[in-house]
A and B are shown apart, each in its own frame.
Chain A
């Protein structure tokens, strides 16, 4: 495979570069690159415009935040809908906070929203971007053209909610050159992943796994579009071959990936559990999450594929096996929609206008009598209740306090167990002392002491506690009228809170 044929895969614009004559072919490559360049413009623009914002925002790297936002949306795109607006903002905030830790949280959130809204371009009616570039037409004239594109688009979700999706432009240009054959790219990534894991190179494996997840998302997206189209009208589809082939292929793919990823999961889990290095452990744990997410996406894809068959058959029954009717002669799609869409808009307008004029029915004109008008104008506006309807007084029933011990007893027991760190005590002595205060108290003390036998070290470490109660069994038997078992040594351990904090950071 050393043949020079590999240059064929290089995009034509690269080889067309040095050629002097600006023919249409070279121009096409130029146009493509200009469009790719245009997709990055909104990101640069963010950094240019941040100076104009009210407030001092120059500390923030807006292009970096924007790229992170596009990555987040791409990764969070679900099969059905897209990424949730609020969730993206919440996940962006830590990165923004890291850029300017001294600034208030509200400002970080404002920056996140500003970047996200600008990526959607909320201000424009199309909610997209437009770049102008010039090309030479085949006849040699220079034509300026508009290139319209979107980076993040808003799509309808369930119940009227709005979700975010990254567009193909954003994924291709900004997430990475992923515009490749999805299936083969995914297989390659997974083979690489397995090799990397078996060699214990988790840092590289994580990178590969993330790339694999991007591809998984892209694959799901391609199939979602395809299934959407088939759902809409079964007759649009070659039911004999194309669809069953496609479904079988996709199911094979899912089964294959599922097997692969479960194998990988087992491998990483082993790496996670056996590894001594905490960094290695953390990496492995992250990898487990990524692969689990991949598996979840595949499962979702599979259930979609299984639903498609029955849907086809039901539609087939309804549409193809009905009794043939005399036709009206007008096929709205074939005769009107399909021919109109490719027309220039000023000509298409004549057809849609004619349809609108005759297709909307009638409206009875509103005629108001003067007498009514006076009444309407003189009627005082209906006063809205500012606070809404009055709330009924809630009927509360006090729940009986059925705690075994009172708050005072707990405080007394805590006081008793608040031992000096250099003087641990026997449980028997503590019980006897507790019994002198209150006959119920020994039970609580015994309970706390038994708990201290397995002290919550992890919690204390995370919360940065300075002292921790512990209990040790040294074999001595407990001599007490009410309790049996081991006479524990109960003590207070001092923890290095500052050291732990540094360690956590």
Chain B
């Protein structure tokens, strides 16, 4: 959320104008937030949007007003810039928040499906921004495909399977404790695709689950569809980068730390295979698997 600091600094230094806020200002601020609620709308395509964005950046009291409107509605402002527009996202428990139960009906009853849907979103982000630099570089545009994401996760699962085999570990879960099954096995045993009677994608297959995720992200203005190859190819938008960097990534990290798992990397080595196969702490650098 460094952007917050960036734009709030001039506000602190500039002499606060004592001009009272008029209802017209409030309407404009609300209008800007309303533009932000249409994530697929591009600022450059709408003159009024561009104008309001310029005002937000040049008029600190107006910016504070717009922030207040957003906060009151239950929104978090990620960035306000010509490239991302008024990038807002839903705060926790806001009416705008997406709930897993609404997203996929099966996911509310079946914890395996719920995990698959969550992991699909995580994997799309991980493949869209493979290196920490990619997530930090504002100009970076990631590219993902549905089949590519599936292959990427499967490869990681296969790597874990091989490791388990090397150590002679029996990863078959106990029958009466499905919750203790290793997470990767859930993905590995779900079929990646399947023939259906009406030639549509099998919704329960892993490519079906990823396709649902990318379609949803496209509707959120996070991805743009670029082609039909490899199950559908997409490129990322500035909003997605902000969302992953400032919201999702840190929230998931916090949850992981709460589970007592502290992944440590030196900040550079990312999708590299582990140097020594004996290292069983499957944290940093467990890496994109490669079989020679």
Any B CB within 8 A of the CB of A390: no
How many residues from B make CB contacts under 8 Å with A? 118
Question: Are the C-beta atoms of B189 and A128 separated by less than 8 Å?
Answer: yes
Question: Are the C-beta atoms of A359 and B267 separated by less than 8 Å?
Answer: no
Question: Are the C-beta atoms of A350 and B100 separated by less than 8 Å?
Answer: no
How many residues from A make CB contacts under 8 Å with B? 84
- B-chain residues with CB within 8 Å of residue A45 when the two chains form the complex: none
Question: Are the C-beta atoms of A229 and B122 separated by less than 8 Å?
Answer: no
What's the minimum C-beta distance from A410 to chain B, rounded to whole angstroms?
A: 48
Question: Are the C-beta atoms of A339 and B265 separated by less than 8 Å?
Answer: no
What's the minimum C-beta distance from B72 to chain A, rounded to whole angstroms?
A: 15
- B-chain residues with CB within 8 Å of residue A153 when the two chains form the complex: 191-192
Question: Are the C-beta atoms of B184 and A342 separated by less than 8 Å?
Answer: yes
Any A CB within 8 A of the CB of B261: yes
Question: Are the C-beta atoms of B114 and A353 separated by less than 8 Å?
Answer: yes
Q: Which positions 19-57 of chain A face chain B at CB distance < 8 Å?
A: 28, 31
Question: Are the C-beta atoms of A28 and B170 separated by less than 8 Å?
Answer: yes
Any B CB within 8 A of the CB of A150: yes
What's the minimum C-beta distance from B40 to chain A, rounded to whole angstroms?
A: 11
**A229 with B288: in contact, given A155-B192, A328-B245, A342-B160 (CB under 8 Å)?**
yes
Residue of B with least CB distance to A361: B220
Question: Are the C-beta atoms of B155 and A155 separated by less than 8 Å?
Answer: no
Q: Interface-forming stretch among B12-20, B22-30, B48-56, B174-182? A: B174-182
Question: Are the C-beta atoms of B265 and A344 separated by less than 8 Å?
Answer: no
**A233 with B285: in contact, given A329-B267, A336-B122, A359-B243 (CB under 8 Å)?**
no
Mask: chain B, 75-117; 1 = CB below 8 Å from A; 0 = not:
1000000000000111010111110100100000001101101
Question: Are the C-beta atoms of A355 and B290 separated by less than 8 Å?
Answer: no
Any A CB within 8 A of the CB of B32: no
Question: Are the C-beta atoms of B245 and A363 separated by less than 8 Å?
Answer: no
Any A CB within 8 A of the CB of B225: no
- A-chain residues with CB within 8 Å of residue B157 when the two chains form the complex: 341
- A-chain residues with CB within 8 Å of residue B94 when the two chains form the complex: 362
Contact of B174 (CB < 8 Å), options: A143, A225, A233, A363: A143
Any A CB within 8 A of the CB of B282: yes
Any A CB within 8 A of the CB of B263: yes
Mask: chain A, 155-169; 1 = CB below 8 Å from B; 0 = not:
110011010000000
Residue of A with least CB distance to B39: A361
Any A CB within 8 A of the CB of B63: no
Any B CB within 8 A of the CB of A236: yes
Question: Interface on B for A, CB 8 Å cutoff?
Answer: 37, 39, 75, 88-90, 92, 94-98, 100, 103, 111-112, 114-115, 117-119, 121-123, 125-126, 129-133, 135-137, 147-148, 150-153, 155-158, 160, 168, 170, 172-176, 178-187, 189-195, 199, 201, 204-205, 207, 216-217, 220-222, 228, 231, 239, 243-245, 247-256, 258-259, 261, 263, 265, 267-273, 282-292
Given contacts A334-B270, A341-B160, 4 further A-B contacts (CB under 8 A): A327-B135, A337-B123, A345-B178, A353-B118
